[in-house]
Amino acid sequence: MTPTATTRAYRRLSVEARRRQLLESALGLFAHRAPEEVNLDDVAEAAGVSRPLVYRYFPGGKQQLYEAALRSAADELEQCFAEPPQGPLTQRLSRALDRYLAFVDQHDTGFSALLQGGSVVETSRTTAIVDGVRRAAAENILAHLDVPEPGPRLRMTVRMWITAVEAASLIWLDEDKQPPLDELRDMLVEQFMAVLVTTAGRDEQTAGVVRWALALETPEGPVGGLARRVLPVVSDAAHLL
Amino acid sequence: MTPTATTRAYRRLSVEARRRQLLESALGLFAHRAPEEVNLDDVAEAAGVSRPLVYRYFPGGKQQLYEAALRSAADELEQCFAEPPQGPLTQRLSRALDRYLAFVDQHDTGFSALLQGGSVVETSRTTAIVDGVRRAAAENILAHLDVPEPGPRLRMTVRMWITAVEAASLIWLDEDKQPPLDELRDMLVEQFMAVLVTTAGRDEQTAGVVRWALALETPEGPVGGLARRVLPVVSDAAHLL
């Protein structure tokens, strides 16, 4: 293809399609490099367009492009949590975590750079976008717990677990993606149930959620497996009861 | 006191004492205001010195002062975790959390601004200082668990819990310091034991830690209380075993 043909080809995209294409190219770059190591020439090259064209769509330069790419990544992440309210809670959570962890795996460097903070492109706006994802995740989980008005203890438990999941994702990336994703997912699901049960000891509403969730579980499910593996470990502690 | 007397009085401090005094004044201001809302005039006024004197000690201006104050706050925070390796694990953890949560209470606004990110004074250096505190806390806890070489699952569990504690602190500040600190501390201790027990189901090393930790507990301690409160909630789930 001659340069002229390329130019003509890329001019044919609509404004919205072009914007999306540039964002996707940017996201692809930001996913695997620190924001410091991405410049607009890279984005133009990855999208097969000229630098001035990138600037026409994103006059604010790299910062604007980064924020737009982050916004689009945030939308994608929020989609991870969408799950029909059917079946055992641990099954729903496992499916959502599978999607979330696949996203982390696919955007490894960008995910670390974003959440570890201190990056040159971090602003109150990027922080707000990340917080929005956390809030959406919390709302989504709380909606699955089937309580009309979740109280402070239940909300705090869910939000703490979400932060712990983020921490686990960063540690996982930092430790060369070990353990395997399936095991990490199961660990996170088990921890969710464990902290929920713990809060149930102090909060009647959470106790109701736990009773409802356990009734949906099967012996082959994650809670049954966890209980059978943990009981022998704690069985010597009968002196505490 | 006349201005001259003040001037003479503050000239008498040694360089190190003066530096410490300026840092303490800065930390006091950064503790209760967003970094954006603190300027060097405020620091000079709080310390009872002139603005040029502040600049003489911190020629990098507010950014340098902020980082130095943060460094000193980080040292103070790391002290919170120092605890003799005696008695039940939950007691040691409770005492460390009491100190940590008192610090959060006393530095509320600054603590939120620091950890919520996106602040104008946040740099890779401030991020590194905060990460250093997290790492120190993890090392400290792992040292208390009495295993010479903690494996990846045990380390991940401890680091996830530390992040969850941070999240809980931010939520607590955000929710007008509710629930009371004693209850928050007990919740955090219980969650620590819960996630440790959960990981014990997958990791022989953690199982050893749990057996050892439970043997040190008394029926009146947090684990006994938790077990007695939680058992009635999960007793209907015998079908899972």
For residue B10, what pLDDT is reported?
55
The CATH number for B134's domain is 1.10.357.10
Residues A60 and A76 in one domain: no
A163 to chain B, closest Cα gap in Å: 6
Choose among B119, B125, B214: nearest Cβ to A237.
B214
Amino acid at B124: S
How big is the CA angle at A49 (ends A45 and A50), to the nearest 5 degrees? 90
B71 domain residue, yes or no:
no
CA–CA distance, B76 with B241 (Å, rounded to integer):
47
The CATH number for A48's domain is 1.10.10.60
For residue A2, what pLDDT is reported?
46
pLDDT-flagged residues of chain A (< 70) = 1-11, 118
A180 domain residue, yes or no:
yes
A83, HSE (Cβ side, Cα atoms, 13 Å): 28
pLDDT at B9 over 60: no
For residue B140, what pLDDT is reported?
95
Residues in A touching B230 (Cβ below 8 Å): 197-198, 200-201
Region of residue A117 (phi > 0: left; psi between -120 and 50: alpha; otherwise: beta): left
pLDDT at B2 over 50: no
A167 domain residue, yes or no:
yes
Which 174-203 residues of chain B touch chain A by CB within 8 A?
Answer: 175, 178-179, 183, 187, 190-191, 194-195, 197-202
Choose among A124, A218, A234: nearest Cβ to B210.
A234
Q: Are A234 and B198 in contact (CB under 8 A)?
A: no
Q: Provide ipTM, 2 decimals.
A: 0.90
For residue B13, what pLDDT is reported?
83
Q: Are A172 and A104 in contact (CB under 8 A)?
A: yes
pLDDT at B1 over 60: no
A147 domain residue, yes or no:
yes
Residues B112 and B157 in one domain: yes
Range in A5-14, B17-26, B232-241 the model is least confident about: A5-14
**What are B88-102's pLDDT values in tens digits?**
999 999 999 999 999
User: Cβ of A240 and B221 within 8 Å?
Assistant: yes
For residue B127, what pLDDT is reported?
87
